[in-house]
Amino acid sequence: MKNKRLRNYLMTEFDLRIDGLSLRGWGRGTHVFDGIPGEVEVRDALPGDFARVRVRRLGSEALEAEVVEYHAFGYPRIPRRCPHAGCRHDKDTGCGGCTLQQIHYETQVRLKQDLLSRLLKTKDIPCAPLPMLECCTHWQYRNKMELSFGPDGADALGVGLHPAGYKHEVITLRQCDLFSPILAELTQKTVAWAQALGLSYFVFRKNTGFLRLLTLREGKRTGKTMVILTTSAQAHIESGDGRTRSAGEVISDFVQNVLMSLTITPDTFYWSTMSAQTGKPTRIEDHLVFGPPVLHERMYIPDETHALDFEILPRAFFQPNTLQAERLYATIYALARPHIQSETPVLDLYCGTGTIALCFARYGHRAVAIDIEAQAIENARANAVKNGLASAVEFFAGDTAEILRQLIDERDNFSDYLLIVDPPRRGLLPPAYRQIMRLNLRTILYVSCNPESLASDLARFCADGYHIEYLQPVDMLPQTAHIETVAVLRRRVSA
């Protein structure tokens, strides 16, 4: 879409009918520019809307626009709960997160179902998705929020989410109904503390500044909390009052004047330092200041009789909606059951903290699990021990394609395995896909967090001898356009 000719249309206005939803939850429509149709994405617009829009930016996929005036609504609107859920590109009015907060939940689900169906059709996927599994909790469901320090307004220090279309600026978070109220209290007290000491935020373009990230993790089943403050790795900080303090002194001050003043004191606090230089790998060091080194969480898959206990390290991935993740993993197991025996082993690729592998191990299956993130694998091994499943699961840290290649060459005995693949948003890269094809397995469960890469990967699988038996979407993140999907693939049998 990066057509320089379309720069001529920046700040121009025209009427547009919205005919679909984009992956980030914006309305999308088509406008004719000098006789050539072009895609337009409109923040705060929904399918069926007819509006006057103004072009604000040339995006990578489409022109990005804002609503000037609505002529007609496709769906009824409801009041937003969050003060940050604004609709304009002005960075003071919207964080870019909850793009569907202005419509009823039932409508959100319907639009996501339509979005998934449309993206699958673009790749001629010969299988319609089943009705989406709805989320029982629409608010305060997130178990992790990572916030950035940056300029809020006229270069004043703030901490929060980035507004739509901005990479470095932030909106200081005053309220977030996707998380528990402790998050807003933490951000407000952190900003007041940082401003009182005259601390600086990190500036990427200059590689200067001290404060980088503020992360809060919460165990939804356990009530445990973990705070991670990420800073630059500098040993001494010159603050706005002209005083030079050691980094350790600043962190101690944060503990005493922020964390200890919260309504509920966090169970664990990490101070993480990040060193990033051009041409060198980013180095992060985690320093445990107080509390247990892990966040304790529990998941019922699907009930307390099959509960799993998890110990989560500060940077390990864990599904952001614990309660709906329980339903996702129970669904994965239910879809797998018709295709496995009690002794069928499992190969879990991109396993993260090992939740899927451990879920199957809890039901008596052996498993082999791979992930590139060393801390996630460290976590997964500890979780296997904690749940008495260490002998049932082998974990490997490293590049998925390379480790899978080595395992196939060394063992050559995966023919009876069930393969479960849960890749990152970009989907399967060619090296990993080639190794999966070498396995030639009868059944594959593909778990996707991105309908676009899902459609592309499913098209490859279908071209290479598989058919799609089921497509089960799951609504993991209400108020957003995010869609999780489980696909069951079966190798076609030659006549």
The 10s digit of each residue's pLDDT in 280-328 is 788 999 999 999 999 999 999 988 888 999 999 999 889 999 999 999 9
pLDDT value at residue 94: 66
Other Cβ atoms less than 10 A from the Cβ of 121: the count is 11
Q: Does residue 8 sit within a domain?
A: yes
Which residue has 């050559």 as its token pair? 412
Same domain? For 276 and 286 the reply is: yes
Q: Does residue 326 sit within a domain?
A: yes
Phi, psi dihedral angles at 370 (to 5 degrees): -130, 140
Q: Put the strands of the sheet holding 211-218 in their side by side order.
A: 171-172, 156-161, 144-152, 211-218, 225-232, 268-275, 283-290
pLDDT value at residue 411: 86
Distance CA 310, CA 317 (A): 12
Same domain? For 324 and 429 the reply is: yes
Q: Does residue 156 sit within a domain?
A: yes
DSSP state, residue 22: -
* pTM over cut 0.85: yes
Which domain range does residue 40 map to?
4-74
Q: Are 360 and 337 in contact (CB under 8 A)?
A: no
Q: Of 69, 98, 72, whose CA–CA distance to 86 is shortest?
A: 98
Tokens coding 454? 């899902």
pLDDT value at residue 168: 81
Q: Are 102 and 78 in contact (CB under 8 A)?
A: yes
Burial of 360 (0-12, 13-18, 19+ CB in 10 A): buried
Other Cβ atoms less than 10 A from the Cβ of 67: the count is 19
pLDDT value at residue 471: 98
The CATH number for 56's domain is 2.40.50.140
Same domain? For 318 and 398 the reply is: yes
> Which residues of the chain have a pLDDT value below 50?
1, 87-92, 495
CA 438, 444, 450, 454 torsion: positive or negative? positive
pLDDT value at residue 88: 44
pLDDT value at residue 62: 87
Same domain? For 425 and 344 the reply is: yes
Same domain? For 437 and 421 the reply is: yes
Q: Does residue 102 sit within a domain?
A: no
pLDDT value at residue 91: 46
Same domain? For 291 and 364 the reply is: no
Q: At which of 267, 295, 323 does a domain end?
A: 295
Structural domains counted in the chain: 3
The CATH number for 424's domain is 3.40.50.150
pLDDT value at residue 93: 52
